[in-house]
Amino acid sequence: MKTKAFRFSFIILALMCSFQLKSSAQVWQPDNGDGTYKNPIIFADYSDPDVIRVKDDFYMVASSFNCAPGIPVLHSKDLVNWTIIGHVYEKLPLERYNHPQLGEGSWAPSIRYHNGKFYVYVCTPTDGLFMASTTDPSKKWDMVQVADVVNWEDPCPLWDDNGDAYLVHGKVCAGVLYLHKLSSDGTNLLDNGKVIFDDAKSQPTIEGPKFIKKDGYYYILSPAGGVETGWQAALRSKNIYGPYEQKTVMHQGNTSINGPHQGGLVETQTGEWWFIHFQDRGAYGRIVHLQPAEWVNGWPIIGKDVNNDGIGEPVMTYKKPNVGKTYPIENPQTSDEFNSDILGLQWQWWANPQAQFYSLTANKGNIRLFAQQVLTESGNIWYAPNLLLQKFPAPQFSGTTCLTLHSQKDNERAGLVIMGQTYSYIAIEKSGKGYTISQSIGNNQNCGGTPKEIKNVTVDKSTVYFKVNVDQNALCTFSYSLDGKNFIPLGKEFKANKGKWIGAKIGVFCINPNVEKSDNYCDVDWFRIE
């Protein structure tokens, strides 16, 4: 009896420890575990989200701008618990994106499902309108350029009841919505388009339109008023070409959620309606919220109309969507042991990925980052295409990595970086007979400049552990360790900030700022978010 009791106790203890480890590894948890959730549902920069349901599955896409692979595809069973299942493209099919094109790339994609196929439409500000399609959103998408245009943004298709197809989109900085006829396969525009909404006085900066049809009305859900302070507008008409009535259906109201807008409206299997949108949180990017929606007099009121003014306000906690079942807690991926031959879906490069950037097979259990040349301003990594980055995952967290530098050249360096309009990193480089660890700060303001070294120390090992702690005000402190246990602070506190249309990112890099090329590299053993 004593032996059985001991074994039983041991099993229970092991299960408890396993649960605690799993729980502590996730730094932001929206599912409260009691049938309710809290906002945001993803405390990370999934900007301009759009969402659809296909049978019992929900799919979300978001902007990527210059980062690649681009347009992440996320999956959920209940609209609260999400994981990344893929990307729409590995790289943009344009050579100039082999170098960082900050603020460009994919803007506000839309996702739709029609006749057994998934479609994503997206514009870049200078390269045109693109469409990607697939029968499995977790696998390869086929992308085509629909139109070679400039200054279009935020496209969304609609297949009408009779099979006719249309495309609505905005225009950069114009606050105008256009409508085009679209070929049934979605690959060609059939006309020059018509302006269907232009009312800058009542809905300034209208953009991000999302098209749906319900109860004989065509609805366009559009954000207005600007990213940080805007609101969600809805337009409706019995005729797809208008005229469109308009109504504000969600605003900040008396809440702390600034600029709640731009997202997708979706219906569950049980007939509930929900709206996913973003909130701009500065360095943390445009984080994702989930709001209940209710149809009142033919309008979708989003959030809760607490003031009885016909306009919804965001909720912070609420009962989870009724999808007919209860599903396990899941979250977008963060930490990586680099044990797979495929790069983790949480990672994006600062520009189009190239084969020479890395290897996951050269030293199994590590990602090998090859030292790419960055001659601009002696290694201003704003211009480095091979930064391996992921989004800030929570209001406060720590990121830790273990890496080994394999280089005999001065100035070549590898490290851990917080990347934004300004950036800071802790790095190791070969120096004389030993190695130097330093913290540096750089920027892209006034055309950038050489990163400024804040402080350095000399060490005798090429394998180091780097850590950065990020507090709830996005203040970052760097430290290093030679044994993985005792971490020593280095340099000064750094205030993370957003980049060009994106939130700050955390990641690793290996660069060569010298004019002479090299075959050197660093091996990153693991990267962990806690």
Q: What is the pLDDT of residues 181-210, one digit of tens each?
A: 999 999 999 999 999 999 989 999 999 999
Which residue has 């979708």 as its token pair?
Answer: 300
- Residue 26: its pLDDT value, please? 62
**Dist CA 231 CA 234 (whole Å):** 10
Q: Is the pLDDT of residue 17 over 70?
A: no
- Residue 173: its pLDDT value, please? 81
Q: Is the pLDDT of residue 384 over 80?
A: yes
- Residue 124: its pLDDT value, please? 96
Lowest-confidence pick of 341-345, 414-418, 514-518: 514-518
Report, as an integer, the average pLDDT of 33-55: 98
**Dist CA 468 CA 490 (whole Å):** 10
How far from chain centre, in Å, is Cα 502? Answer: 8
**Dist CA 84 CA 348 (whole Å):** 12
Backbone angles phi, psi at 27, to 5 degrees: -85, -15
128-134/82-89 β-pairing = unpaired
Q: Which residue in 490, 521, 506 sits closest to 412, CA to CA?
A: 521
Backbone angles phi, psi at 322, to 5 degrees: -85, 105
Q: How large a percentage of the chain has pLDDT more than 90?
A: 89
Report, as an integer, the average pLDDT of 219-229: 96
Residues whose CB falls within 8 Å of the CB of residue 82, separated by 6 or more in sequence, listed in order: 41, 42, 60, 74, 75, 76, 330, 331, 332
Structure confidence at residue 409 as a pLDDT band (50, 70, 90) = confident
Structure confidence at residue 447 as a pLDDT band (50, 70, 90) = low
Q: In the annotation, is 48 catalytic?
A: yes
Q: In the annotation, is 412 catalytic?
A: no
Count other Cβ atoms within 10 Å, centred on residue 7.
Answer: 10
pLDDT in tens, 301-337: 999 999 999 999 999 999 999 999 999 999 999 999 9
Contact 118, 105 (CB under 8 A): no
Report, as an integer, the average pLDDT of 20-45: 82
Structure-token pair, residue 429? 């480089």
pLDDT top residue among 17 and 235? 235
Catalytic residue among 31, 45, 48, 50: 48
Cα 391 to Cα 79, 158, 395: the distances in Å are 20, 31, 11
CB-facing half-sphere around the CA of 127: CA atoms within 13 A: 21
DSSP conformation letters of 231-272: EEEEEEESSTT-PPEEEEEE--TTSS--S-EEEEEEE-TTS-
Q: Which residue in 41, 210, 61, 82 sits closest to 133, CA to CA?
A: 61
Q: Which residue in 360, 369, 344 sits closest to 528, CA to CA?
A: 344
Structure confidence at residue 5 as a pLDDT band (50, 70, 90) = very low
Catalytic residue among 31, 78, 153, 207: 207
Structure letter (DSSP) for residue 383: G
Report, as an integer, the average pLDDT of 393-406: 98
- Residue 392: its pLDDT value, please? 98
Domains and CATH numbers, the chain: 28-319 (2.115.10.20), 348-529 (2.60.120.200)
Cis omega (within 30 of 0) on the bond before 100?
no
Structure confidence at residue 14 as a pLDDT band (50, 70, 90) = very low
- Residue 443: its pLDDT value, please? 86
- Residue 187: its pLDDT value, please? 97
pTM: 0.94
pLDDT in tens, 467-513: 999 999 999 999 999 999 999 999 999 999 999 999 999 999 999 99
pLDDT top residue among 83 and 25? 83
pLDDT top residue among 26 and 423? 423
CB-facing half-sphere around the CA of 425: CA atoms within 13 A: 28
- Residue 377: its pLDDT value, please? 83
Q: Is the pLDDT of residue 243 over 60?
A: yes
**Average pLDDT of the residues of the chain:** 93
**Dist CA 79 CA 53 (whole Å):** 10
- Residue 431: its pLDDT value, please? 86
Structure-token pair, residue 389? 């980055």
**Dist CA 26 CA 28 (whole Å):** 6
**Dist CA 187 CA 173 (whole Å):** 26
